[in-house]
Structure 1
Amino acid sequence: MTLDISYKAEHITQRELEILYMVGMGYNSKQIAEQLFISELTVQTHRRNMVKRLGLRNTHQLIVWAFKERMLSV
């Protein structure tokens, strides 16, 4: 899986891209928080903001969107 940090920059921040990548790798919010040295609540807020900003319903749709947009790849 790769991370394209330049794509969709107007929609997703660098930190959100990091979180999106880690969610795609199967990490949960607690694990992401530990890896990025931020709180679990901050991770959840970033996830919620991405879902809302993109007009999606949940994180599953966010991951599907990211693959379709080629922000994440296998």
Structure 2
Amino acid sequence: MIIQVSEDFPQSMISAREVEVLQLISMGYSNKEIASLLFISKLTVETHRKNMVKRMGFKNAYQLVVWAFKEKVFT
């Protein structure tokens, strides 16, 4: 799987790993599936998700995904 991030996206907002997690969330993968694909624990995936939602001031991961597409995080 190739994850491409838009060159215009400011990397200081979320880390490269968080972008990977975010893309898999947007593709409909569960936390367990994401953990397996990225070779990390399910708890780590949940932490990345929670940190991104909190940092961006959203209420849930759905808003995070909508924001990512609106801001053209992915190419």
Question: Could you say whether these structures have the same fold, taking a TM-score greater than 0.5 normalized by the shorter chain as the test?
Answer: yes
Q: Which has the higher strand share?
A: 1
**Moved segments of 4+, more than 4 Å:** none
Task: Rate the CA distance shift 1:35–1:64 in 2: closer, same or farther, 3 A.
Answer: same
> What residue ranges of structure 2 are gaps of 5+ in the alignment?
none
Query: Is this contact kept in 1: 2:53–2:61, CA < 8 A?
Result: yes
**CA deviation vs aligned residue, 1:2-43 (integer Å, no higher than 9, x gap):** 631641311110000000010111101000000111000000
Among residues 24, 34, 43, which one is paired with 2:45 in the alignment? Answer: 43
Partner of 1:4: 5
Output the TM-score relative to the length of structure 1: 0.89
Distance 1:5 1:34, change over 3 A: farther
> Take 1:3 and 1:68, find their aligned partners in 2: how far apart are those partners?
16
Listed as ranges, the gaps of 5+ residues in structure 1 are none
CA RMSD of aligned residues (A): 1.5
Distance in 2 between residues matched to 1:3 and 1:66, nearest whole Å: 13
Secondary structure of the 1:72 match is coil
